[in-house]
Amino acid sequence: MKPVKISRGVFWVGAVDWNIRDFHGYKTPRGTTYNAYLIIDEKTTLVDTVKREFAGDLITRIKDIIDPANIDYVISNHVEMDHSGALPEILKIAEKAKVVCTAKGKEGLKKHYKQEWNFETVKTGDELKFGEKTLKFVELPMLHWPDSMATYLVEDQILLSNDAFGQHVATSQRCNDKVKEIDIMDEAAKYYANILEPYSGLIPKAVEKIVAMGIAPRIIAPSHGVIWLENPMQIVNAYLEWSKGVHRDKVIIAYDTMWHSTEKMAVAILEGIASEGVTAQLFHLRQSDWSEIIKEIKFSKILLIGTPTINNAIFPSVSGFLEHIKGLRFKGKAASVFGSYGWSGEAPGAVVKRLEEAGFQIIDQGLRIQWVPGAAELAQCFEFGRKIAGQIKGSI
Ligand code: FEO
pLDDT digits (tens, 9 = 90+) for 84-98: 999 999 999 999 999
Nearest protein CA to atom 1 of ligand 1, as residue: 163
* Position 207 confidence tier, pLDDT thresholds 50, 70, 90: very high
* Position 188 confidence tier, pLDDT thresholds 50, 70, 90: very high
Beta bridge partners, 362, equal: 335
pLDDT surpassing 90 at residue 395:
no
Q: Are 44 and 66 in contact (CB under 8 A)?
A: yes
Task: Of 243, 82, 201, 76, give the one whose Cα is nearest residue 147.
Answer: 76
Instruction: Give me the amino acid identity at 10.
Output: V
| Known catalytic membership, residue 192 | no
Question: How far is Cα 10 from Cα 65, in angstroms, rounded to an integer?
Answer: 11
Cα maximum dimension of the chain: 78
| Known catalytic membership, residue 197 | no
Ligand 1 nearest-atom number relative to CA 163? 1
Q: What is the mean pLDDT of residues 169-192?
A: 97
Question: How far is Cα 194 from Cα 102, in angstroms, rounded to an integer?
Answer: 25
Q: How far is the CA of 80 from the centre of ligand 1 (A)?
A: 5
Nearest protein CA to atom 2 of ligand 1, as residue: 80
| Known catalytic membership, residue 256 | no
Q: Are 292 and 190 in contact (CB under 8 A)?
A: yes
- Within 6 A (CB) of ligand 1 lie 78, 80, 82-83, 144-145, 163, 223-224
| Known catalytic membership, residue 168 | no
| Known catalytic membership, residue 78 | yes
Ligand 1 nearest-atom number relative to CA 162? 1
Ligand 1 nearest-atom number relative to CA 223? 1
What is the predicted pLDDT for the residue at 386?
98
Task: Of 117, 199, 98, 216, give the one whose Cα is nearest residue 157.
Answer: 216
What is the predicted pLDDT for the residue at 170?
98
Question: How far is Cα 271 from Cα 373, in angstroms, rounded to an integer?
Answer: 15
Ligand 1 nearest-atom number relative to CA 195? 2
| Known catalytic membership, residue 73 | no
| Pairing, β 119-121 against β 127-129 | unpaired
Q: Are 40 and 66 in contact (CB under 8 A)?
A: yes
What is the predicted pLDDT for the residue at 1?
74
Of all residues in the chain, the percent with pLDDT exceeding 90 is 99
Q: How far is the CA of 137 from the centre of ligand 1 (A)?
A: 18
Q: How far is the CA of 132 from the centre of ligand 1 (A)?
A: 30
| Known catalytic membership, residue 260 | no
For the entire predicted model, the pTM comes to 0.96
What does 131-194 look like in DSSP terms, one character per residue? SS-EEEEEE-TTSSSTT-EEEEETTTTEEEEETTT------SS-BTTT--SS-HHHHHHHHIII
Q: Are 187 and 167 in contact (CB under 8 A)?
A: yes
232: three-class secondary structure by DSSP: coil
Nearest protein CA to atom 3 of ligand 1, as residue: 80
Catalytic one of 83, 144, 168, 247: 144
pLDDT digits (tens, 9 = 90+) for 1-44: 799 999 999 999 999 999 999 999 999 999 999 999 999 999 99
| Known catalytic membership, residue 163 | yes
Q: What is the mean pLDDT of residues 221-250?
A: 98
Q: How far is the CA of 13 from the centre of ligand 1 (A)?
A: 17
Which residues have a Cβ under 8 Å from the Cβ of 358 and sit 6 or more positions away? 322, 325, 326, 329, 330
* Position 393 confidence tier, pLDDT thresholds 50, 70, 90: confident
What is the predicted pLDDT for the residue at 224?
98
pLDDT surpassing 90 at residue 396:
no
H/E stretch holding 359 reads none
Q: Are 36 and 49 in contact (CB under 8 A)?
A: yes
Q: How far is the CA of 311 from the centre of ligand 1 (A)?
A: 38
Q: How far is the CA of 250 from the centre of ligand 1 (A)?
A: 30
Q: How far is the CA of 83 from the centre of ligand 1 (A)?
A: 7
Of all residues in the chain, the percent with pLDDT exceeding 70 is 100
Ligand 1 nearest-atom number relative to CA 81? 3
Q: What angle do CA 383, 385, 391 make, to 5 degrees?
A: 110
User: What rounded mean pLDDT belongs to the chain?
Assistant: 97
Catalytic one of 37, 152, 191, 239: 191
What is the predicted pLDDT for the residue at 163?
98
Q: Are 98 and 73 in contact (CB under 8 A)?
A: yes
pLDDT surpassing 80 at residue 242:
yes
Q: Are 280 and 230 in contact (CB under 8 A)?
A: no
